Chains A and B, each alone.
Chain A
Amino acid sequence: MHENEFHDLSDDADYEASIQHGSASMVRTSSSKQSTSSEPEGSEIVYWKDNVAIHPTQYASERISGRLKLIKQGASLFMTWIPYKGHNSNARLSEKDKNLYTIRAVSFSEIRSIRRHSPALGWQYIIVVLSSGLAFAPLYFYNGGVREFVATIKQHVNLIRSAEDANVFLVNDFQDPLQRTLTSLDLPRAVSISKGTSPSVLAGESPSSTDQDGLAVASLDNSSTNQHKGKQKQKHNDPAHDISIQVLEKFSLVTRFARETTSQLFREHGSGFVSNEREKLVHNSNDPHKVVMTEITKEDPHEVPVASDPLASELEKLSMVWGKPRQGPLGFEEWASFLDSEGRVLDSGALKKRIFYGGVEDGVRKEIWPFLLEYHAYDSTYAEREYLVATKKVEYETIKNQWKSIKPEQARKFTKFRERKSLIEKDVVRTDRSISFYDGDDNPNVTILRDILLTYSFYNFDLGYCQGMSDLLSPILFVIRDESEAFWCFASLMERLGPNFNRDQNGNHAQLFALSKLVEILDSPLHNYFAQNDCLNYFFCFRWILIQFKREFEYDMVLLLWEVLWTHHLSEHLHLYVCVAVLKRHRTKIMGEQMDFDTLLKFINELSGHIDLDATLRDAEALCICAGENGAACIPPGTPPSLPIQDASVYPQLEDEVL
């Protein structure tokens, strides 16, 4: 590459970031004259940047700072990142942690691409992906300097900007068609870009035109959307293609890095590594500093990819923890702070967002679930709610009496009633009986489950009762602890999930279809694998969808998951991204072991109880943001839990349905 193409690599964001952080633009020139005895003979440091950090735990305050260098030796360029000795920002980070992340002279011949991230708020960082598919943990440039870093590289090795994403720089040619497919890189287009035929090339020369609105202007909440807009300007024809590269890079490659590099490092650093320590580090939910740390990371909506997260013995768990850090649950006091003196929720958006990132404390759920389920209106007062509850209680009793008043003689002539009752009675006695709330003989709560379900089958006679409903009701009654209230909360939930239980299963099929579309854009190799193996019906995810993962997690985790899903923060269909996240976590195994439909179904069923909810939610969030509008476009209007487009009370499958 020639010097005159230097500007191809710069853009507004770089410029602004360097100004913003007071980047020492002299660093390169000053450092280039330096050489230290630790460097190999005949080598020259061509770039040197201090305060480049790794965030091993998602919390910026726990960063490991170090020095990034580019070293030229003969015709080869090497990159190193060495953490400072005894310079911890956090005492709990051990020397071993530092060793784990240290980058010792990696040659650019081994590097495939460098992705640059320029969050509107927070620090610029890069992710370096090796040609093997591995990636290093993101390097945060606390003193700026990403632009120079890239520019320096460009002076020494062949570096071109990806046609797909202006923030991706491709270091080496991609001769291997498989790799090209994997990263969705379109080489001819990338080359044409470097020749100056694409508008993106002009970005650096006419700063006001292309990237500005995309990357420079952003507020806390919509910056990611803006970045998408900025990115969309770069793409030419296929949005799916565009997302694919981003996601693949962030997920599969980073995941592979996590798994492979970590295991390698474990070996390298021997058995002295105490994985428990790290586990504590990452999962320090009781840590008093946590709120502060969270505040800090809130500044950066892209708070991201700690690619290597070597915390547990199970390597699967190591992958892709990169969404926003999750918080502790919402407690009473904080809940009270959301209410005005008359009990209105002042900022329902903020409340939902808070719940999205941390869930709700046990005792507070009873208060909040009726809002999340849209039984109570956020702008209702204490008095209005009290009145509603009283009115609805009477109404509930009235509906309940419709079947309570059926005497045995009438029941004998009422087959449908008898059969519904029998089906419900069969199911409630096998619903969550291991939970103390429902265990033991003659448990009154089991009777309440039955009464609510039977009453619901009269309230919504067309839909009736269907298996799975008891799974949905059980946690609601457990949380609400009041028959009438639980009924109405359940009825509200069924307004959204009712189509899951239609005879024609249209609600499920719509969701499974949307899921297949999402996988197609978020993980096209996995999609292709499913297509080749006759798995595109996604029936192996049927149970996940039908009852919102009820059977996949421990009871208290289900409560957390549901309240997070019900916030509809980011998307009404976060549960579909949860599906994608889980599938992605196991994609290597699924494809590597060549699972056919049967094996895949069995595998998915057996994941029950083994899914890390916290990590999965973070993945799902990240995927949702990543997919953006393209993701939303995959989901047809009216797909549950979106409210049905037509009248919700019409279930067109009545004639032959007995139960």
Chain B
Amino acid sequence: MASRRRMLLKVIILGDSGVGKTSLMNQYVNRKFSNQYKATIGADFLTKEVQIDDRLFTLQIWDTAGQERFQSLGVAFYRGADCCVLVYDVNVQKSFENLNNWREEFLIQASPSDPENFPFVVLGNKIDVDGGNSRVVSEKKAKAWCASKGNIPYFETSAKEGFNVEAAFECIAKNALKNEPEEDIYLPDTIDVGGGQQQRSTGCEC
């Protein structure tokens, strides 16, 4: 029963409007990119089967509206999350500055049992734009912020070109799995939790 409960890993994608949350999700799940995505109203999610350490999980990826004004809905959508993905647009300074707000808002609304250790992953998206010439947030700056927040794993991505998206979500899935330690004791010993953590520290940290 415990392992069954564990099959689902819930991931929330947050970030300013237009940073590419929907595109990242669709690129990862459907390997498709469209210029025609509409602004997300409310929330939606896609699921994908993932294999971590020889076990299959269902990754449930929640895409949310980016406008601050809709945050009051978070209470319903964030609950039970196993990992939170913070996305910003490397070409928009403000979207980077808002990462902290999104992080704090998430912790308030989702109120995870162990906020200090709740897994986040940060994605700097749209690195393809203008060949990188319009970029305003450097990788160094982003990594520094991630380090200051408890070594949040950081990935630079292009949802449009599919760059680094798979790797990012692999890391996201592993972190989500790591978030449910109390369930682990019920799991068959085919899963080595310690090994998973180890892999995370090598595979995800940049």
Question: A residues within 8 A CB of B45?
Answer: 598, 601-602
- Cα of A659 to Cα of B68 in the assembled complex, Å: 8
**A63 within 8 A of partner (CB):** no
- Cα of A471 to Cα of B42 in the assembled complex, Å: 14
Question: A467-B70, A657-B69 are contacts. A539–B76 as well, Cβ < 8 Å?
Answer: yes
Question: A residues within 8 A CB of B72?
Answer: 504-505
Question: B residues within 8 A CB of A434?
Answer: 36
**A546 within 8 A of partner (CB):** yes
Question: A residues within 8 A CB of B18?
Answer: 423, 426-427
**B94 within 8 A of partner (CB):** yes
Contact digits for B30-56, partner A, Cβ 8 Å, 1 yes 0 no: 000000111101111100000000000
**A172 within 8 A of partner (CB):** no
Please determine whether B43 and A423 come into contact, CB atoms closer than 8 angstroms.
Answer: no
**A43 within 8 A of partner (CB):** no
**B73 within 8 A of partner (CB):** yes
Number of chain A interface residues as a range: 20 to 34
**B77 within 8 A of partner (CB):** yes
**B65 within 8 A of partner (CB):** yes
A491 → chain B, closest Cβ, in Å?
A: 19
Interface centre among A422, A467, A505 (most CB of B within 10 A): A467
**A537 within 8 A of partner (CB):** yes
Closest to A656 in B: B68
**B67 within 8 A of partner (CB):** yes
- State which of B39, B42, B66, B94 has its C-beta within 8 Å of the C-beta of A542: B42
618-659 of chain A: CB within 8 A of chain B: 657-659
**A180 within 8 A of partner (CB):** no
- State which of A427, A430, A543 has its C-beta within 8 Å of the C-beta of B36: A430
Question: A residues within 8 A CB of B43?
Answer: 539, 601
- Cα of A426 to Cα of B92 in the assembled complex, Å: 12
- State which of B37, B42, B68 has its C-beta within 8 Å of the C-beta of A543: B42
Please determine whether B76 and A597 come into contact, CB atoms closer than 8 angstroms.
Answer: yes
**A397 within 8 A of partner (CB):** no
A469 → chain B, closest Cβ, in Å?
A: 10
Question: B residues within 8 A CB of A659?
Answer: 67-69
Please determine whether B44 and A427 come into contact, CB atoms closer than 8 angstroms.
Answer: no
Closest to A539 in B: B76
Question: A residues within 8 A CB of B68?
Answer: 503, 657-659
Please determine whether A503 and B69 come into contact, CB atoms closer than 8 angstroms.
Answer: yes
Question: A residues within 8 A CB of B36?
Answer: 430, 433-434
A182 → chain B, closest Cβ, in Å?
A: 29
**A558 within 8 A of partner (CB):** no
Please determine whether B41 and A547 come into contact, CB atoms closer than 8 angstroms.
Answer: yes
Please determine whether A542 and B69 come into contact, CB atoms closer than 8 angstroms.
Answer: no
56-112 of chain B: CB within 8 A of chain A: 60, 65-70, 72-73, 76-77, 92, 94
- Cα of A44 to Cα of B70 in the assembled complex, Å: 69
- Cα of A600 to Cα of B80 in the assembled complex, Å: 16
In the complex, given contacts A467-B41, A468-B39, A471-B41, what are 8 additional A-B residue pairs having Cβ atoms less than 8 angstroms apart? A419-B94, A422-B92, A423-B17, A434-B36, A539-B77, A543-B42, A605-B42, A658-B68
Q: What are 9 A-B pairs at a CB distance below 8 A? A: A419-B94, A430-B36, A470-B39, A503-B69, A504-B72, A537-B76, A551-B41, A659-B67, A659-B69
B contact set with A: CB distance below 8 Å: 17-18, 36-39, 41-45, 60, 65-70, 72-73, 76-77, 92, 94
